[in-house]
Structure formats: C-alpha cells, structure tokens
C-alpha cells in the first residue's frame, strides 16, 4: 500500500505539472488582472504543499514498510494524517480555483 500511495502522489504531481503550464498562461494572468490575489495565494500554498508532500513520501514509505513495528505507530499515523490533509486541501483548492475563472473559459 505505501508504494501505491507514493506512486499515485508522484503521478498526480506529474499530471498537475503538465496542466500547470496551461493554468500559468490562460488562467493566472486574468485572475491577477482582476485582482484576486488571495485566490492566487491559496493556489501558491497548494503548490508548496504538493512539493512538501513529495518530500514526506520517503518518510511515509519508511514508516509503512514495517507496519508490524509498534514503535512507529504514532509517527505512521501523523505522517498519514498530514499527507491526507494536504491531499484534501489541494483537491478542494483546485476545484474552487477552477470555478473562479470558469472551466474552459
């Protein structure tokens, strides 16, 4: 399971980076011109959390590879909760930002 989570996180990051080029050109500039700087800041935080999440993946994988070791139960729980919270934040922000400009406009 930890390997699947790590692979999916990285695959999502790669696809997000591919989509980001379109966002940078067609969405971000009009949002800046309209003065939605808080919206842009929330999205910038999303980008930073995705990168921090990639940095946490080796720690996550290490703690979950030895699931029978009770010494790492607390660490395993909190790394998982942190990654899950980051993932939900990024998911929700992506959808909200999509609604600011409108899909396909």
Please tell me which residue, 29 or 79, carries the higher pLDDT value.
79
Contact 46, 20 (CB under 8 A): no
**What integer is the mean pLDDT of 73-79?**
93
Q: Which of the four pLDDT bands, split at 50, 70 and 90, describes residue 101?
A: low
Q: What pTM value is reported for the model?
A: 0.81
Contact 67, 12 (CB under 8 A): no
d(CA 50, CA 12): 10
d(CA 36, CA 59): 36
Please tell me which residue, 104 or 85, carries the higher pLDDT value.
85
């Amino acid at each position: 399971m930890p390997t699947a989570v790590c692979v999916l996180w990285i695959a999502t990051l790669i696809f997000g980076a591919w989509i980001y080029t379109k966002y940078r050109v067609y969405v971000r500039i009009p949002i800046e011109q309209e003065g939605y700087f808080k919206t842009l800041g929330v999205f910038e935080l999303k980008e930073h959390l995705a990168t921090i999440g990639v940095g946490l993946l080796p720690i996550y994988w290490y703690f979950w590879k030895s699931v029978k070791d009770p010494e790492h139960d607390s660490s395993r729980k909190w790394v998982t909760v942190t990654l899950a919270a980051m993932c939900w934040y990024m998911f929700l922000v992506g959808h909200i930002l999509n609604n600011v400009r409108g899909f396909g406009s």
